[in-house]
Structure 1
Amino acid sequence: MREAIDYLPRRAASLVYEALDDTRVVVINGARQVGKSTLAERVWRNAPNGVARFLDDPTVRVSAHDDPIRFVQHPGLMLIDEVQRVPDLWLAIKHVVDRDPRPGRFLLTGSARLLGLRSLPDALPGRSETIELWPLSVGEIDGHEDGFVDASFDQGADLRSEWLGLRKKDYLALAARGGYPEAVKRTAPKRRQRFFEAYVADLLARDVQQVADIARASEMRRLISLLAGQTAGLLNINRLANELQVSNPTVRHYVDILETIFLVRLLPGWSANATTRAVATPKVIFVDPGLAGYLTTGTGAAPLGGLLENFVLSEICKQLTWSNTPARLFHYRDRDQYEVDGVIENNAGEIIGIEVKSAETVRSEDFRGLRLLQRRLGDRMRAGFVLYCGSESLSFGDGLTCLPISALWTTRSGEE
């Protein structure tokens, strides 16, 4: 039996247990090396009469391929790790759970967006729930609350945060650390860089090929570097195609692959009837800012402000997977050059605007884009926050507040 070393509790664990209580098949999905297998094993060990199957074992994989129906027969919870390695298992699982619809039958893990893989049949709609696991959040690593998303909708612009003494250099260090558990454990920068180097090589050699046939891996590697150089910027297909000397459709295809394997996330442009001049082009962020920082180390390609913005937006994305407030993250930019780095919209249509500043002071001009949204949205605009590298939590007018970036993970949600 495998043992997790230096395990850090994951907020997704409670989501997995809740899903197993009423759902036949639960999938833990996410990037390679974010801790899916470790989390799944801890859940499995707590299940009575559970069994685990690890498809990175060649013997186990051959058995699953040769006799998938018998492979998935078990009266209790079955954990199948890296399930995308044997696509035939999906139909076998469907066969089993359709005949025995008890909840908590299967716990599956995978390193790509499973239903987007070309080799997998669309076999489990209505029978499964997917829990998306991101790299570790700062709160998970350092033992803080990670309650900003819920608190921002609950308290609006009245939200305040205690300063932890962090400055710009500290936030950049946190961004460079990232959240992959193995990278977090490596405190020496050179050792962490070696992890990132191997990580990218493994993605190109395994995950990319799992999703699509890429004849020229060098083009994909170059694209990853170019995207890191403009992290938290708009996705400019034309510029990337010119840089790579390939067609626009090829670039779009490559970016889709990178999103499928959880390397990057595209944040849609936000718009509403009140803001018809909005630009629809998505913004690109890396799922892990530490990897983005590694890819631009020594190149001067990525401004530190872009890496810091990526750091903040990725922390918000992590919280959205477990927050009590159902919401989505967008960005806003219009043809008049007004922009807001992050726009969080809940199911009621309420908006939290986020601006990220690398400075340790805040000016009135930093709220320019937030004020525009506030004027146009009225009561729909719950609050606008400038998150910055300074120490104070201060009001800048009705509905507008500046907070230290650390408010993201030190804020306690209402239910806590």
Structure 2
Amino acid sequence: MTLDSEETRAAAEADAPGFVQQHPQGTLVIDEIQRMPSLTLAIKATVDEDRRPGRFLLTGSSNLLHHRGIQDSLAGRAASIDLFGLSIGELHGRKDDLVGTLVGSLKDSAPASFSTNWERRRTVDSICAGSYPGLIQLSGRLHSTWVDSYLQRVIERDATDLRTVYQPARLKSLLRLIAANQSGELVKARLAEQAGLPATSITAYLDLLGSLYLVHTVEPWTPNLTKREVGRPKSLVTDSGVAARLNGASAARLQDVSSADHLGGLLEGFVTAELLKQQTWTSEPFRLFHFRDRTGAEVDLVIELDDGSVIGIEVKSSTSFNAKQFTGLKFLRDNLGDRFLGGVVLNTGQRGYRFAEKLWGLPVAALWEPLSG
């Protein structure tokens, strides 16, 4: 049942208990639940009467828990799963679990022996295509029109379900600014000034973009390795195709070597999003952070496993490796001791590389291709 349908909403409003109990022996899927968050009270009542799991699947295009009309959080009665766009592995029918694979592979020479036919061009094309099912098959002007229309509808219509008082133009301006600094540190005061927002409103606007699943943040990793660690999160537009469109970056432009700096942030955001997707099914549960301190040591992504061990990831748009790219990873290795499983520089090349003890280079295709046969 979809609550986008006026008939369905009318039935749910007329008899909420009867509506949620109409498929007692199976699973009732209620799509766009945010259209009628008050329905959670009836769902809670029927779940309390019959605790069999799997009776309901509630889906929506914004975070139900952030809606003004929600009457019950369903705490203890429901589990929440963030559903990202399609991963590259899903699109190509491959099992993609970089972290699960690395845990075993970093103990031997598998990374150095890895090679791929996946070229830089295909990575750029994947970034610009994005991950939304309705978007990935489109190209050219139709692709751009789809993104523009999607953002217009989400910002001008869906956002009203979450917040009645906001300015759509400033919300979109804020989204553009985040895309322009894709995978950069989130400095609220600077964003508020650039977007023309009062400093007191910036947090609410950022939360709104997060609730619409347009923006994701990566929290800072602060393990007290130094006393000068920076505690700001990084922010990114979650879908790489949307981020590229907001930047006015076409695949042809990004293929140009002179656009390498522009590609860097988009590539890091793309890698981050792929890892966020894989985080929902990985064989090795992990948390994702970034690290930087005021002495200059930084690592794009820090993966912390449940046992406290750490894998560092650097993302570079070049097709070759050099010593400078491993500086932050060496810092982690030398300060973490046995906790440090290994560090990897991901780039747009096609061959694996051993730099030093516990430090490797890999093509970005390792995210979705097996490291060994």
With the length of structure 2 as denominator, give the TM-score of the two structures.
0.92
2:199 alignment partner, one of 244, 248, 258: 248
Q: Secondary structure at the match of 2:184?
A: coil
1:338-386 residue CA offsets vs partner (Å, 9 max, x unmatched)? 1111111111111110000101110011000011111111111111000
- Aligned partner of 1:125 in structure 2 is 75
Q: Is the Cα contact below 8 Å between 1:55 and 1:85 reproduced in 2?
A: yes
Q: Is the Cα contact below 8 Å between 1:148 and 1:413 reproduced in 2?
A: no
- Aligned partner of 1:19 in structure 2 is none
1:138 alignment partner, one of 74, 81, 88: 88
Within the alignment, does 1:59 sit opposite 2:7 as a pair? yes
Farther off after superposition, 394-403 or 275-284 = 275-284
Within the alignment, does 1:403 sit opposite 2:355 as a pair? no
1:191-244 residue CA offsets vs partner (Å, 9 max, x unmatched)? 111110111001112221111124321111111111110001001112111212
- Aligned partner of 1:174 in structure 2 is 126
How is 1:221-240 mapped onto 2 (pairs within 5 angstroms)?
Answer: 221-240=172-191
- Aligned partner of 2:316 in structure 1 is 357
With the length of structure 1 as denominator, give the TM-score of the two structures.
0.83
2:297 alignment partner, one of 300, 320, 338: 338
Runs of 4+ aligned structure 1 residues displaced above 3 Å come to: 298-302
Distance 1:142 1:242, change over 3 A: same
1:390 alignment partner, one of 336, 342, 349: 349
CA displacement at 1:108 relative to structure 2: 1.1
Distance 1:154 1:116, change over 3 A: farther
CA displacement at 1:412 relative to structure 2: 6.6
CA displacement at 1:157 relative to structure 2: 5.5
Q: Measure the CA separation in 2 of the matches of 1:234 and 1:252.
A: 15
Farther off after superposition, 338-347 or 400-409 = 338-347
Q: Is the Cα contact below 8 Å between 1:167 and 1:360 reproduced in 2?
A: no
CA displacement at 1:260 relative to structure 2: 1.0
Q: Measure the CA separation in 2 of the matches of 1:246 and 1:87.
A: 29
Q: Secondary structure at the match of 1:146?
A: coil
> Percent of pairs identical after alignment?
38
Farther off after superposition, 125-134 or 399-408 = 125-134
Q: Secondary structure at the match of 1:403?
A: strand
Matched positions, count: 361
Q: Amino acid of the residue matched to residue 303 of structure 1?
A: H
CA displacement at 1:298 relative to structure 2: 5.7
- Aligned partner of 1:75 in structure 2 is 24
- Aligned partner of 1:369 in structure 2 is 328
Q: Is the Cα contact below 8 Å between 2:98 and 2:366 reproduced in 1?
A: yes
Q: Measure the CA separation in 2 of the matches of 1:266 and 1:316.
A: 13
Farther off after superposition, 296-305 or 233-242 = 296-305
- Aligned partner of 2:224 in structure 1 is 273
1:171-194 residue CA offsets vs partner (Å, 9 max, x unmatched)? 1111001110111111x2221111
Unpaired runs of at least 5, structure 1: 1-52
Q: Is the Cα contact below 8 Å between 2:114 and 2:362 reproduced in 1?
A: no
- Aligned partner of 2:256 in structure 1 is none
1:237-272 residue CA offsets vs partner (Å, 9 max, x unmatched)? 121112122222211211111111100101000011
Q: Amino acid of the residue matched to residue 171 of structure 1?
A: T
- Aligned partner of 1:308 in structure 2 is 267
2:281 alignment partner, one of 322, 327, 330: 322
Distance 1:157 1:291, change over 3 A: farther
Q: Measure the CA separation in 2 of the matches of 1:126 and 1:204.
A: 32
Q: Measure the CA separation in 2 of the matches of 1:402 and 1:363.
A: 10
Distance 1:99 1:413, change over 3 A: farther
Q: Is the Cα contact below 8 Å between 2:105 and 2:371 reproduced in 1?
A: no
**Superposed CA RMSD:** 1.9
Distance 1:118 1:346, change over 3 A: farther
Q: Is the Cα contact below 8 Å between 2:114 and 2:371 reproduced in 1?
A: no
Q: Measure the CA separation in 1 of the matches of 2:159 and 2:17.
A: 28
Q: Secondary structure at the match of 1:132?
A: coil
CA displacement at 1:164 relative to structure 2: 2.8
Q: Is the Cα contact below 8 Å between 1:208 and 1:214 reproduced in 2?
A: no
Distance 1:240 1:107, change over 3 A: same
Q: Amino acid of the residue matched to residue 32 of structure 2?
A: E
Q: Measure the CA separation in 2 of the matches of 1:401 and 1:157.
A: 11
Q: Amino acid of the residue matched to residue 339 of structure 1?
A: E
